Chains A and B, each alone.
Chain A
């Protein structure tokens, strides 16, 4: 007798077909086995709410090893489940840096023990993220690394990056880059402009993003490596990606939900929960980024979940740590773009599930027979006011605290198992 579950009476959000249709899903042995319009005895009644593929979130920082007081695999996993994130793709900027297969295996084992959702690790591109010597890309890939990145520390030396790209190309490995020119960005915590000038905070022009992207893209052109820019956040950066795609390079672009929904003015009176990397942009760049997502120039939206404890945020703005938690707020914040009419739900789930899964070569992210039964059931309309105290993450550094949001996750399934149920929570 197979392990069988039916979710009936849902609005199915199908990112692949780009459509919303009524129906139900039959789950068997952790996979999607078929679709049905019937609602047999024992089925879970979705009451006409939205059922979509679970979110694949690339670039999640977890405090293990090194900073477990900020976030553990357990708490991050619970936060992910509550946020409809069924695949967490972790960053290697841990302490120590995840740059050896041994460390990668430790992380995978810890995750498998305690996290209710899928956790897939990324590995560092260079040893210690120092930008000098490439890591054991082959061993790391065999140990399960789905991509290679030095996270928020760009490789400064183009020769080092060139060789890492050439080597990665031979293994068909994906390189993910934080494209911000480090020299210009050094010391900056705001985007330059009238607001940063008025607040007296060191700032960097968004042109730093384009500069680094152009350099990286030239190397991509030389090597033919698979390349993903994790956060493209301004008009000049978007233009660079658009040109590279038109040229036929194997390039994708992501952005963070923060850069889609917040702008520099949100920092207001030195509110450190709004300090992120790269810094929040002007409203016109935010709108450009939203438009690039709608146009498909930006493929992927991530939370860039970065837990920080209270102490590292309760400091003057310049001295405070960067980053914001986002696993639980990713979907409701993104739904703001749907409610505002910028994109529709199937498009949103292309950016949240289908595209990241495809880029990493994962079978998830789709509503199709044979795909893993990673699903999220949500009501896009439920209004609520976010209280950061209710977040499941150990760290509560969300910029959305007190914000009116719309849309809540009701049920999350990973591999056919219910990992979050709001009615029970």
Chain B
């Protein structure tokens, strides 16, 4: 049903895989809103969250997802531990592997690091973000949110706006939305637009008006603080003026357009504070909610693969 050992990226998934995952996540989303607890399908399994890069939201989401399904969850803050002692990523992976976990959730500041780790362990690995490469559960939760709000996940026009160059969220979303046959536009200053991406997706532009025209979905990206001063953009205020989402720019999009943001938001930098809270457009809280459901579904499916492999 879900023929994968790991969830390392959206790349490698088929449209059928994505639909399977979203359908299951939908049932978990319903269960999470209701009073009945879901089946503890991860009971007896150990989940380790290894975050080599600071994260509150994603880590909490994975932790909650695991606990709701009955897993034993352990958090390891990796910045503080072995890396400072000079241990290599592979040694850390082997050490952990020897403790026989069933699911490892990894975030790492370098692209490809999670793939490397996954090649050295026997359990299922979920990528919670690697460098500028992929952040698959974010793209899946975005897809689920879009599908719920728009009633479909195809033939939509999606504008992804902001710091595309440094964003793994943009990459995973671009691949997923392209795979499901949507029209993807990338909008941002040329300094934050990697060369070559325009050959992967249909359109890139540095004009919000052009980029947002008739968009069904406007996806804003977080601008990292360290990129704000002079290096990539002249200043925070000029960025907000040209690329920050406010009611005026949103008016270029379709009247029923939804506004998304992976969080945490810089209000007044990439998005207007009032707009972020506008329940007629903003689905930012629903994204967070779907995050738990999607992660429950992903771990459920990988655990099934894992059990099948062990029974065989």
Does chain A bind chain B? yes
A residues contacting B by CB (< 8 A) are: 192-201, 203, 205, 269-270, 311, 314-319
Instruction: Say whether B110 faces chain A, with CB atoms less than 8 Å apart.
Output: yes
Question: B112 to A270, Cβ gap below 8 A?
Answer: yes
Question: A199 to B195, Cβ gap below 8 A?
Answer: no
Give chain A nearest CB distance to B128 CB in angstroms: 15
A316 to B89, CA, bound (A): 8
**Listed stretches B53-61, B130-138, B288-296; interface member:** B130-138
**Listed stretches B21-29, B155-163, B196-204, B221-229; interface member:** B196-204
B130 surroundings in chain A (CB, below 8 A): 200
Question: A316 to B194, Cβ gap below 8 A?
Answer: no
The listed residue with most B CB atoms (<10 A of its CB), out of A194, A198, A317, is A198
Give chain A nearest CB distance to B130 CB in angstroms: 8
Question: A318 to B131, Cβ gap below 8 A?
Answer: yes
Q: A194-B199, A199-B111, A200-B168 are in contact. List 10 more A-B contacts (CB 8 A).
A: A198-B171, A199-B112, A200-B111, A200-B112, A200-B132, A269-B112, A315-B88, A315-B90, A317-B112, A318-B131
Report the nearest A residue to B130, measured CB to CB: A200
A29 to B112, CA, bound (A): 56
Question: A317 to B111, Cβ gap below 8 A?
Answer: yes
> A201 contacts which of B11, B111, B115, B197 (Cβ < 8 Å)?
B111
24 contacts across the A-B interface (CB closer than 8 A): A192-B194, A192-B195, A193-B196, A197-B194, A197-B195, A197-B196, A198-B11, A198-B171, A198-B196, A198-B197, A200-B111, A200-B112, A200-B171, A203-B194, A205-B195, A269-B115, A270-B115, A270-B116, A311-B88, A314-B88, A315-B89, A316-B113, A316-B116, A316-B131
B115 surroundings in chain A (CB, below 8 A): 269-270
Report the nearest A residue to B131, measured CB to CB: A200
Report the nearest A residue to B108, measured CB to CB: A316
Report the nearest A residue to B134, measured CB to CB: A200
Contact bitstring B74-97, A, C-beta under 8 A = 1, else 0: 000000000000001110000000
Chain B interface size, as a band, is 20 to 34
B residues contacting A by CB (< 8 A) are: 11, 88-90, 108, 110-113, 115-116, 130-134, 168, 171, 194-197, 199-200
A194 to B195, CA, bound (A): 7
B131 surroundings in chain A (CB, below 8 A): 200-201, 316, 318
Question: B110 to A318, Cβ gap below 8 A?
Answer: yes
A199 surroundings in chain B (CB, below 8 A): 111-112, 133
Report the nearest A residue to B167, measured CB to CB: A200
Report the nearest B residue to A317, measured CB to CB: B112
Question: Which 6 residue pairs of A and B lie closest in terms of their CB atoms, listed nearest first?
Answer: A270-B112, A200-B132, A200-B133, A194-B196, A316-B110, A316-B113
A205 surroundings in chain B (CB, below 8 A): 195
A39 to B116, CA, bound (A): 57
A199 to B200, CA, bound (A): 12
Report the nearest A residue to B199, measured CB to CB: A194
A318 to B113, CA, bound (A): 9
A319 to B116, CA, bound (A): 12
The listed residue with most B CB atoms (<10 A of its CB), out of A192, A194, A195, A200, is A200
> A317 contacts which of B110, B194, B196 (Cβ < 8 Å)?
B110
The listed residue with most B CB atoms (<10 A of its CB), out of A196, A315, A316, is A316
A196 to B112, CA, bound (A): 12
A200 to B197, CA, bound (A): 11
Report the nearest A residue to B132, measured CB to CB: A200
Question: A196 to B196, Cβ gap below 8 A?
Answer: yes
> B197 contacts which of A194, A311, A314, A317 (Cβ < 8 Å)?
A194
Report the nearest B residue to A194, measured CB to CB: B196
B194 surroundings in chain A (CB, below 8 A): 192, 196-197, 203
Question: A314 to B90, Cβ gap below 8 A?
Answer: yes
Give chain A nearest CB distance to B204 CB in angstroms: 11
A201 to B130, CA, bound (A): 11
Give chain B nearest CB distance to A355 CB in angstroms: 35
A270 surroundings in chain B (CB, below 8 A): 111-112, 115-116
A195 surroundings in chain B (CB, below 8 A): 196
Report the nearest B residue to A311, measured CB to CB: B88
Report the nearest B residue to A282, measured CB to CB: B196
A316 surroundings in chain B (CB, below 8 A): 89, 108, 110-113, 116, 131
B88 surroundings in chain A (CB, below 8 A): 311, 314-315
A315 to B108, CA, bound (A): 12
Report the nearest B residue to A193, measured CB to CB: B196
Give chain A nearest CB distance to B108 CB in angstroms: 7
A195 to B199, CA, bound (A): 10
Give chain B nearest CB distance to A125 CB in angstroms: 32
Report the nearest B residue to A201, measured CB to CB: B111
Give chain A nearest CB distance to B257 CB in angstroms: 27
Report the nearest A residue to B194, measured CB to CB: A197
Give chain B nearest CB distance to A370 CB in angstroms: 54
A270 to B112, CA, bound (A): 6
Question: A193 to B195, Cβ gap below 8 A?
Answer: yes
> B196 contacts which of A192, A269, A314, A315 (Cβ < 8 Å)?
A192
Report the nearest B residue to A319, measured CB to CB: B110
A319 to B89, CA, bound (A): 11
B196 surroundings in chain A (CB, below 8 A): 192-198
> B132 contacts which of A192, A201, A314, A319 (Cβ < 8 Å)?
A201
A201 surroundings in chain B (CB, below 8 A): 111-112, 131-133
